[in-house]
Amino acid sequence: MRLGGHLVKAIAWMGGALLSFTAMAISVRELSSGMHAFEMLFIRSAIGVVILTVVLWATGWKTLRTKRMVGHLFRNAVHFTGQVLWIFGITLLPLATVFAIEFTTPIWGALLAVAFLGERMNRGRWVALAFGFFGILVILRPGLATISTGALIMLACALFFGATNVITKWLTRSERPVAIVFYMVVMQTLFGAVASVFVWTPVATDAWAWLILLAITGLTAHYSLARALSVADASFVMPFEFLRLPLIGGTGFLLYGEAIEPATFLGAVLIFSGTYFSLRHESRR
């Protein structure tokens, strides 16, 4: 199977994003017992501002030029809301369940991309989304099990993340990925500072290592995602997020002893099958 160079790059960048998002989830799980989501996001974003300022000081500031500041503001308001919901979801559900429900993000994202970006869905992409949707149904088993508050929170989170990805794709038409990430951490530092005033508690010494990891992987995750979306359609890139399930499922089992249900594996097989079919279809095109 041969893929175009831009598709190979998109896959590589998505691989970096998936690893980064997994590390973020572990960091949040470790921090959640003693820190509120608002405080966590504020400190993470503030560290990110420091890191990016150092990088830009060395590489130059011209990459931050933008004509779409309102677009950045809208993206980050949507994304900040999704992140708060994501953190709450991690505190209420096993990691594999959190990521499984979050898999509806590519479905929302691809459909929104068609509606608002004018992207076209081909047969491979429809198959990937359909298999992903049925895989989610297998994992959640609606009607056979009670859908918890945590699950509803994560469904709302997925919708916000899907919208974030579509706005990111729109921004990549004129904005550089580093600018998207820089304005993200700056704006979300401000959002987090205001929100965390009401829930602030002293930061434990052993929490700083996790906060630094959370900040670094937050930058690499969103930079990698922005790079992937800059070289390929959102409806091609987003189904790769389905591959988070086996990755986070194994992590949750190894680190926290979280049981992995057979339905989760079956859903993962369906999701992976759809993604592979999409790859085959894109390579032939």
pLDDT digits (tens, 9 = 90+) for 228-261: 878 887 667 767 777 777 788 888 888 888 877 7
52 versus 280: which is more confidently predicted? 52
Predicted model pTM: 0.78
Enumerate the H helices of the chain as residue ranges.
5-31, 37-59, 69-92, 95-102, 104-117, 123-140, 149-171, 177-196, 208-231, 234-237, 244-256, 262-284
Angle formed by the axes of helices 177-196 and 69-92, to 10°?
60
The pLDDT of residue 137: 81
Q: How confident is the model at residue 269 (pLDDT cuts 50, 70, 90)?
A: confident
What tokens does 38 get? 């608002």
Cβ-proximal residues to 82 (8 Å cutoff; 6+ apart), any chain? 157, 160, 161, 163, 164
What tokens does 155 get? 């469904």
What's the rounded Cα separation, in Å, for the pair 203 and 98?
26
**Of 63, 83, 130, the residue nearest 270 (C-alpha):** 130
Q: Give pLDDT tens digits for 191-212.
A: 999 999 999 999 999 999 999 9
22 within 8 A of 247, measured Cβ to Cβ: yes
Domain that holds residue 120: 5-284
The pLDDT of residue 74: 95
Structurally, the chain folds into a number of domains equal to: 1
> If you average pLDDT over each of 122-136, 159-173, 236-250, which comes out highest?
159-173
Could you identify the residue written with the tokens 């017992």? 33
What's the rounded Cα separation, in Å, for the pair 283 and 273?
15
What phi and psi, each to the nearest 5 degrees, are found at residue 172?
-65, -10
pLDDT of 227 > 60? The answer is yes
Cβ-proximal residues to 170 (8 Å cutoff; 6+ apart), any chain? 71, 116, 117
